[in-house]
Amino acid sequence: MQRLWIALLLCGLTSGLGAATVTTFGPASWGVSDATLGFTGSYETEDFEDLALANRLLFSITADNGAYGPSNTLNQLFNPATGDPNGANWSFTTWDGTRSLLNRLDQIPVGYYGPPGFSGYGSVTFTFTGGASKVGFAFSNNEVAATVLVNGVSLGSLTQGNIAGGSGRNGYFVISADATTPSINTVTISSNVIDAIFYDHLLYQLLPMTNPPTGGEVPEPGTWALLGTSLGVVWFKRRR
């Protein structure tokens, strides 16, 4: 384990590239069991009911008027029933609980659609520390074209397969790692126009975490040799 970590530090980390496997569930499947969505065994659930995020999950948003994250806490909470100053009730956007996540910095849905530069909506990124093998999320009110990216690589439209576009519940989007993308490190939902999109019931299966040696661990002799050789190369280059 120690040798692997030192090697990763010296050689750098490589993100998986390519197109992961996508499975979609239409609005008629809203509220089905996690097993129906393909999540069984050990997995994490984020319901956006409080500011603290679930295990090894980070959230970030980039909008026309600023950015937030990546952070393991939300910057604001959104109440679909009472959080709209225009009086609209967005309770239908919740999969479970009483809250959902809005792709807006202040989590206040003022204006629901517009061209770039319109009032604070933006792209959302979920980061899975150490990587995930499967990720899924429910979303609503996606009225214009949005793109899903995994590790920065496009998987195409958010409303693909049997997912419905437009106002109302859109469906559930599942991304599974495969041979071309063995680790899902980030999932970004991006749009070239601004659209109010609501997310809920984020599920993800984490990959085993590879940790560096802690301060109390004594590296094996082979590890010291590898590190010493690498440092010697760096010293030699600097002397030249």
Residue 119, in any domain of the structure: yes
Asked if 141 contacts 175 with a C-beta cutoff of 8 angstroms, the reply is no
Residue 150, in any domain of the structure: yes
Q: Is the dihedral of CA 69, 75, 76, 78 positive or negative?
A: positive
pTM across the whole model: 0.79
Residue 2, in any domain of the structure: no
Residue 53, in any domain of the structure: yes
Residue 74, in any domain of the structure: yes
Residue 4, in any domain of the structure: no
Residue 29, in any domain of the structure: yes
Which CATH number do you get for residue 74? 2.60.120
Range of 82's domain?
14-239
Domain count for the chain, please give it. 1
Residue 9, in any domain of the structure: no
Query: In tens digits, what is the pLDDT along the chain, a chain of 240 residues?
Result: 333 333 332 233 222 335 699 999 999 999 999 999 999 999 999 999 999 999 999 999 998 888 999 999 999 999 999 998 888 899 999 999 999 999 988 898 876 655 555 567 889 999 999 999 999 999 999 988 899 999 999 999 999 999 989 999 999 999 999 998 999 999 999 976 678 899 999 999 999 987 654 554 444 444 434 344 443 433 334 444
Scanning the structure block, which residue is given the tokens 């958010």? 158
